[in-house]
Each structure stands twice: as C-alpha cells, then as structure tokens.
Amino acid sequence: MFGKKILGTILCAAIAFTALTGCAGGGTKKVGISMPTQDLQRWNQDGAYMEEKFKAAGYEVDLKYAGNKADVQLSQVEDMINTGCKVIIIAAVEASSLGQALDKAAKKKIPVIAYDRLLMSNENVSYYATFDNYKVGQIQGEFVRDALQLDSTSGPYNIEFTAGDPGDNNAGVFFQGAMDVLKPYLDSGKLVCVSGQTDFDSVATPKWDSATAQARAESIIGNYSDKNIDAWLCSNDSTAQGVVTALDSSYNSEGRGGQWPIITGQDCDIVSMQNMLAGKQTMSIFKDTRTLAERTVIMVNQILNGETVETNSEYDNKAKKVPSYLCDPVFADINNYKEILIDSGYYSEADLA
C-alpha cells in the first residue's frame, strides 16, 4: 500500500515537473542550494538530486555543503547572494544562525526557501518545503505502541529516547510528535524510562552525531544490568546507528540471548537499512528526497515565473507564519522495505547487500 502511494506521489510530481521544465524564463537563471553537511547520506542525496533537476530545467546551480558549521554556511549563503543567485534554498545547520544573510537576500529581493529545516526568528523566509515533521514523530511513536501492543498487554515495558540536534527546529517537532503518542503510557506506568530522561533537553543529540548518541547510550545501558530494554525511540538514523553500536558492544555482549529492543529511525540510510536486515534496527521513516526535491523545483519555477506558489500549510518561525508545502512521510520496516525502497527505484538490492 505504501509503495503504491510513494510511486503515485513521485509520478504526480514528475508530471508537474515535466510541464515546468524549460520554463525558467529567458536566459539561464542561477539557483543557490545550501546543504548542511556531506557527513549524512541524505543531504548528499538531496543536494545531488536537486542539482540534477534544476540543471535539467535550464538553471545554473551553485550547490554548497557547509560541513555542519553555521559560520561556513553563513559565508556560503552570502556568496550566493553576491554572485547573482535568483532564489536560494537552505537546509540550515542551525535554525537561527542565518539572519544576517536572510536580511541581505531580502534587500536584493532574493526569495529564500527553507528546505526541510525551518529557518527561525527572521521574517525574510519566503517559503518552507518539508515533510510533515510532527507526523514523522507520530509514526515513530505509533510504531512503538503497536509493536509492544501497549493497548492490549499489561507491561510494563522499558523504553529510552534519543532525539536530535537542539539547533534544528525539526528535532523538537519530531520528538513532540512521538511523545504525544507515548506519554499516556509513561504516565500510567506501562512504559518505564529507567534513565528518567524523557524531556527533549535531556535526550537531544547535538549535530545528530552518531558518536555522541553512542556515548550517551553506553552510559544509559549501565542502568540495565538486570533488565532488558524493550524499545529505544531514536529520532533519525544517525542517532539510531549510535545506539545500535552501543548495544552491540555493551548490551548484547552480556549474554541476553539475542533479545534486541525495538529501535526507530528516520531517513532510511543504507547503514540503517543494513542494520534492519540484520535485525538491529526495526524501522525507519522514509522521506522520499526525490519528492521533496521535485516539489522545490516546482516552487522555484512558480516564483520566477510570477505564478502563485502552491502551498498546503504554514509554519510559525517566531517572526512570521511561513507559507509551507508538506510532503507525506511513511515508514519502512522488514516487511515493506522492498516495496517502498527497491520497487520505487530509490535503492537497488545491491545497495543494501
């Protein structure tokens, strides 16, 4: 079912994109794409796919990666402003660090699209293209709820939480979506967090760093010398990979009979999909970067052609309500990953071998 939905979404976006290809207006126009890092697979894919689609539509593309450094990204975006980009697309390293560049872009009447990470505390954000990030967290929480059968078994079950970068506005949204599903079970005692760390500030992982997530997980596992961990809700795949490494080295080695927690994730990174096939990660949210990239190309064409930009929501960035387009996420697990990821052409079987 999910696979058909994904394929349908891709087809619709492709049709819309085909209708717009070549409609960028007279002459080549330059688009700036600022991605946060090349250290995570998904940003490489987003950047490369957008670059490909924009070039196919007749644009010149300035694609830069900031190495997860906010000051580097600020400098790169300012360079895009100064070198003639007509629209700039930004997936921010840190949500509130680019105000200076956004103000400069506004003075030159350069529209800015926040890409998958909302740019905060500045009114000069024209649009926001993303997935329904609250729904991402909801799906993760619902997956844990259903996998543990919380509505039909007595428990109690032990759970831990690893969230994302506190500088990324999405991280709090993901976590809130999951906690809104799971908090009633924590309040009733059916879910127990032995570490006691259930607020975002306690479970956040700066820069979504796997090693940081691993170190924290190793310290938590020490609380489980005489009990099992039944679930570990991780907000994305890089944090999930850190938790898996910690479990591999200091939990599973303790002779627990191979019992493994339910572990959530997000992005369907190759390493996490391989962990899933090995039984070490249970699910990952699939946010098809092709769909989001194609939607962003459509938005840029609409902007530069003077057309109404299609949106379906709005997000408050603490300075304005930013017109937004939300794409739908789904999840992949061992039962449906072939349909979602292989059949749709996102990965080949060899990629996950």
Looking at residue 258, what is its pLDDT?
54
Looking at residue 41, what is its pLDDT?
84
**119, 168: one domain:** no
Question: For residues 103 and 84, what is the distance between their CA atoms, to the nearest angstrom?
Answer: 16
Question: For residues 142 and 71, what is the distance between their CA atoms, to the nearest angstrom?
Answer: 38
Looking at residue 255, what is its pLDDT?
54
**15, 59: one domain:** yes
**204, 279: one domain:** yes
pLDDT (tens digit, 9 = 90+) per residue, 51-101?
999 999 999 999 999 999 999 999 999 999 999 999 999 999 999 999 999
**282, 297: one domain:** no
**19, 64: one domain:** yes
Task: Report the candidate in 276, 268, 295, 286 with the shortest Cα–Cα distance to residue 331.
Answer: 286
Inter-helix orientation angle 289-304/41-56, to 10°: 40
Task: Report the candidate in 162, 278, 140 with the shortest Cα–Cα distance to residue 215.
Answer: 162
pLDDT (tens digit, 9 = 90+) per residue, 229-257?
999 999 999 999 999 999 998 766 555 54
**233, 312: one domain:** no
**201, 294: one domain:** no
Note down the domain range covering 115. 2-125+289-328
**153, 224: one domain:** yes
Q: Is residue 44 part of a domain?
A: yes
Q: How many domains does the chain have?
A: 2
**280, 295: one domain:** no
| Cα of 309 vs its chain's centroid, Å | 23
**300, 233: one domain:** no
Residues of the chain with confidence (pLDDT) below 50: 1-26, 257
Q: Is residue 60 part of a domain?
A: yes
CATH of the domain at 220: 3.40.50.2300
**118, 218: one domain:** no
